[in-house]
Amino acid sequence: MNFIQITDCCYYFHGAVNIGYIKSGQKGMLIDAGIDKGTMKKIVKILKEHEMFVTHLFVTHAHADHYGGAAYLQETENIYTYAPYLESAILRNPILEPLYLFQGNSPLPEMRNKFLEGKPIVVDEEVKEGTYHFGETQFECIALPGHSMNQLGLLINGVLYAADSYFSEEQLHKHKIPFIIDAKDTLNSLNGLKNIDCIGAVPGHGIYETAFQKTVDTNIMYHNTILESILNLINNQNETGITHEDLVSQVCKTWAVNLNNVSMWMLFRTAITAYVTFLVKEEKVKLFIDDNKLCFKKIEIKY
């Protein structure tokens, strides 16, 4: 894990999941907390070696890989924690993530793992889009929904901590189908990123870039390619259409995704459903019920 300085007060820990750090006098704020106790132990150790403080935490969104280490941090340090409203409900009640992934049913034991459910944490202040103060530093919260319901990015001292609003090109190809819950919000957030006045951006997964807009454009093209492939798949079905379950299976095959456990299946099902829901809302695909099955089919264009 590399500790990288960007400006005189902005840093980030580069790893599988990036963690931001802001220094303001005798105060220090982490942006996200990694996946578990072990990650946070390493972070705190590095900060202490640099004689830096950690007094605040900002959680950008309630996915376990971004807040899993927060409980340990709160247990061992005197921490003031910010988090977006709505996301805060999951941070206080982490079972909600496997619950919604399992369609509201009580989740299976194998879904209650550190990748889907962190330990509950205290949220001292719920925040929304707008300007806030931390120590002597002012920061702006920017709404970046799509990957989660109410994800927030932070703009501080000209540096944008963009959370999971976009991914490095390497991460896109690694995961093949990015996790999203709303394709329209995702695309709107990506287009909005390009208009933010900043010197560079840190994604949740990837590297800090000054010319990050190129990577954002790559993300936009990637999402549109997935949407086009799903639309073509549905349009190539006969008039009976395709069931939701078969759609998930065929999209995964198209993108060479091999799902071998329930947790992964739920994550990819959610993402694929987000894409096809966009097509339904855009009236490019019809959703209907047939033989007690959720189905999709092409919309016939009448001339």
**Does 147 share its domain with 264?**
no
Q: Decide if 254 is inside a domain.
A: yes
DSSP strand pairing (80-84 vs 10-14): unpaired
- The range of the structural domain enclosing residue 144 comes to 2-222
**Does 195 share its domain with 85?**
yes
Q: What is the CATH number of the domain that holds 290?
A: 1.10.10.10
**Does 174 share its domain with 263?**
no
Domain boundary pick from 197, 222, 247: 222
- 218-223 average pLDDT score: 98
Alpha helices in the chain (DSSP H): 37-49, 64-67, 70-76, 87-92, 96-101, 169-175, 183-193, 212-235, 244-254, 262-281
**Rounded CA gap, 226 and 273, in Å?**
12
pTM across the whole model: 0.96
What's the token pair of residue 210?
């000054």
- 273-296 average pLDDT score: 97
Q: Decide if 115 is inside a domain.
A: yes
* pLDDT over threshold 90, residue 1: no
**Arithmetic mean of pLDDT over the chain:** 96
The per-residue pLDDT for range 178-189, each reduced to its tens digit, is 999 999 999 999
In percent, the amount of the chain with pLDDT more than 90 equals 96
Domain boundary pick from 184, 199, 222: 222
Q: What is the CATH number of the domain that holds 7?
A: 3.60.15.10
**Does 131 share its domain with 163?**
yes
pLDDT band with cut points at 50, 70 and 90 for residue 148: very high
The per-residue pLDDT for range 259-269, each reduced to its tens digit, is 999 999 999 99
**Does 216 share its domain with 286?**
no
* pLDDT over threshold 60, residue 303: no
The per-residue pLDDT for range 6-34, each reduced to its tens digit, is 999 999 999 999 999 999 999 999 999 99
**Does 233 share its domain with 273?**
yes
pLDDT band with cut points at 50, 70 and 90 for residue 135: confident
**Does 179 share its domain with 119?**
yes
**Does 106 share its domain with 230?**
no
State how many domains the chain has. Answer: 2
The per-residue pLDDT for range 42-62, each reduced to its tens digit, is 999 999 999 999 999 999 999
* pLDDT over threshold 60, residue 38: yes
**Does 103 share its domain with 197?**
yes
